[in-house]
Each structure stands twice: as structure tokens, then as C-alpha cells.
A = this chain, B = another copy of it.
Amino acid sequence: MAGIKDVAARAGVSMATASRALTGHPSVSDAARAAVRAAADELGYRANGVARSLRTRRTRILGLVVPDVLNPFFTELARAVEEEARALGYSVIIGNADDRPEQLDHQLRSLLERRTDGLLVAPADDPSAELLRRTARSGTPLVFVDRWIAGAPGVPVVRADGRAAVRALVRHLHRLGRRRIAVITGPAATATGRERLDAFRGALGELGLPPRPELIGHGDFRAESGRRETARLLSLPRHSRPDAVFAADNLMALGALDAIRAAGLRVPAGIALAAFDDIPWFAHLDPPLTAIAQPTAELGRAAVRALADRIEGRPAASVTLDARLVARASCGEPGGARGGGTGRLGNVRRCDDGAERRERESGS
């Protein structure tokens, strides 16, 4: 394959001039520039990015490590990240940590070895995330997205704050007459899991509803755990059975829906169901599912921008966006008996309660 040496020879100039001509360096005569361009065209020259990266110490590749690519939330996040990165001239390598700490380390090592210019990570808060902390300290440009870990000061965090929306959801359920509200949480090891449970408990308290430990199911952000915990909830003695279930993410909500159907119950008549994380399909489910929507794509874009800031030497800031409640039919009332799925692909979003969108930035 033709190298810059060949181009230079053909154009009758030195490698130095050829390189300058091709990279747009100002001090090249118009004649030389034209000759080099022509020679490059004729030879079908394509710069070797590997050699360039070695010399410039920049790969223009970003690494993105997500805990579970199967989860639509992270799929959408990844898509937005890829899009914004491309707009900024970067490619993205996606690593799947598969919810296993050692797999996270593996991905991290692989990306570091490839000398990606920066890393976007959604880590589980595992105490053993030593490699991640070391990486943060070592000065590698790093930004946390959605989740973060303790002990990594100075690393910007881009995330959605779901607390207001969870409170809005609980009030929504309460207003519709639900009193025995169960929750299926995510792993306590994730910042998002803890936040959602805390907000849920707080909201119950505000409404004067007593906390009921038996109505808390411990899930792991996967469909099967949602199914299992919901089945358990439904098998409780009649008087302590829940009249609403709040699943702390979309996959667990789907599992819950399966369990509810398997038990022969109807939603929302027999039991209400709501989820954290909205996805387009929710509007088309039977019934359309009430959910808390994160500004997923915006999170991805903001995270990439923050990372690019870091990489290019600008100060990077943490970003917190707000999630908001999207009330559909699965808790009763909104959208009526049928419907809630009119219009285009899940864009029907009737917003309930306050929790208007705002964006705050805090210096990192």
C-alpha cells in the first residue's frame, strides 16, 4: 500500500512537505500542495492512522464501558455516544462489562492498551474497582456516565437525577388510590439503584404511607430478577399483597409484566405497574406502561462533550439532567382503557406533576 514516501517521491518533494501539504499545515506553497494532492489521489493514498497515532500520541478513539449492552437504556446511550463522538471526529469502541467486575477490568485494560484518548464508564460501585480508581488518578481522561464510584475525585459525572420523578410517580400512584406500593430495586452496589430506592422510601414517607420491608424486592436490573421478585410479591398473603409495583429499570419491568400475566392478573385493574427508564416500546405494550424517562440521548451527548473537553485540555464539568414521569395507562386512568399508543413511536408523553426539565452544571 502506498505510503507518504511514495506520494512525496511522485510529487517531487520531501516527506516533510508531503505530510505538511496533506495535514493542512500553512507553510506549504500552493504549487507543492497541489502536486502532493494530485500524487496522493493518483496513488489512492490513505494515511496510516496507526503510524500517525504513534507519533502524535492521539488515537481519536474513545472507549465506552457499559454494564450490560442488552439493556435498552445502555443501547440507546451507546448510540448517542457514537453519534456525538463521530460529530467531534472520534470513533468509539464499546466494551461490555456484563455486570461482572473482572470483565470491567478486562475491558478497561484492553482499552488502555489500545491507547484510547479517553474513557466513558458506567461502573458498578464495586469495592474492588481498584483499576478504575488507579486509572482515574493516572490522569487518563475519564468521565462517569449514569453511574459512578466513590474514591475517584475530579472525575466528572454525567447522569440523570431521578429523585423528583420517583416522588412524582409515587404521588401519581397514590392519587390513583394505590396504597400498597411495592418496589423492585437494582443492586445496592449501583449509585442509581440506591438513589431510586431512597427516593421511593422518602416519597412514601411524605405521603404518610408506612414502609413495608416485605414489599421491597431486590433485583439486579435484569428481566429474570423482575419476574422472580414479582412472583414472590404476588404470592404474599392476600392482605399484604401489593396493589402496585414499581420496577427500578425497564428489563425488570418486563419480567414483572410476565409474572403478572402468569398469575392471571390484569394491568392496571388487578395491579398497577410502572418502570424506571422509558423506552419507545413501552408505549406499544399492553397496556402502555407508565415510566420515568431519562434524557438518555442527551446524557450520552453530554458525556462525550465532557470527555472531549478533558481530552482537549478544557475544563470538564459534571452534568445532572432531570428524569421525568411519563404517565400512561398501566397505573390506571391516563390514556383510558385503550390507547396511550397513538401517534408516532412512543412520542406520546403526557407529563404529570412537576419535575420539569432543568439542567444544572457543577464544576468538577
Residues of A within 8 A of B (CB): 46-51, 53-54, 59, 61, 69-70, 75, 79, 82-83, 86, 91-96, 109-110, 112-115, 223-224, 227, 254-255, 257-258, 261-262, 281, 284-287, 339, 341-345
Contact = CB atoms under 8 A, between A and B. Distances in A.
A174 to B, nearest CB: 27
Nearest to A286: B286
Contacts of A49: 113-115
Contact of A54 (B54, B227, B281): B54
A262 B345 CA distance: 12
Contacts of A227: 344
A61 to B, nearest CB: 7
Contacts of A224: 344
Contacts of A344: 223-224, 227, 255, 258
Nearest to A347: B258
A161 to B, nearest CB: 27
A96 B83 contact: yes
Given A223-B345, A284-B257, A345-B254, A69 B82 contact: yes
Contacts of A345: 223, 254-255, 258
Given A50-B50, A79-B69, A92-B94, A342 B262 contact: yes
Contact of A285 (B69, B96, B285): B285
A342 B258 contact: yes
A31 to B, nearest CB: 27
B284 A46 contact: no
Given A93-B93, A224-B344, A285-B285, 10 more contacts: A46-B112, A50-B115, A61-B93, A61-B114, A91-B110, A223-B345, A255-B345, A257-B341, A262-B342, A286-B286
Contact of A284 (B69, B110, B285): B285
B46 A54 contact: no
Q: Which 6 A-B pairs have the closest CB atoms?
A: A286-B286, A281-B281, A49-B113, A49-B114, A50-B53, A50-B54
A262 B83 CA distance: 32
Contacts of A70: 79
A342 B261 contact: yes
Contacts of A69: 79, 82
A318 to B, nearest CB: 27
A78 B218 CA distance: 31
Most chain B CB inside 10 Å of its own CB: which residue of A50, A255, A287: A50
Q: Which of A51, A223, A345 has the most CB of B within 10 A?
A: A345
Name the residue in A49, A51, A82, A339 with the highest tally of chain B Cβ atoms < 10 Å from its Cβ.
A49
Contact of A48 (B83, B115, B286): B115
Contacts of A223: 344-345
Nearest to A285: B284
A342 to B, nearest CB: 6
Nearest to A115: B50
A277 B344 CA distance: 20
B93 A50 contact: no
A50 B341 contact: no
Nearest to A63: B91
19 contacts: A46-B113, A48-B113, A50-B50, A50-B53, A50-B114, A61-B114, A82-B94, A91-B95, A92-B94, A227-B344, A255-B345, A257-B284, A258-B342, A261-B341, A262-B343, A284-B285, A284-B286, A286-B286, A286-B287
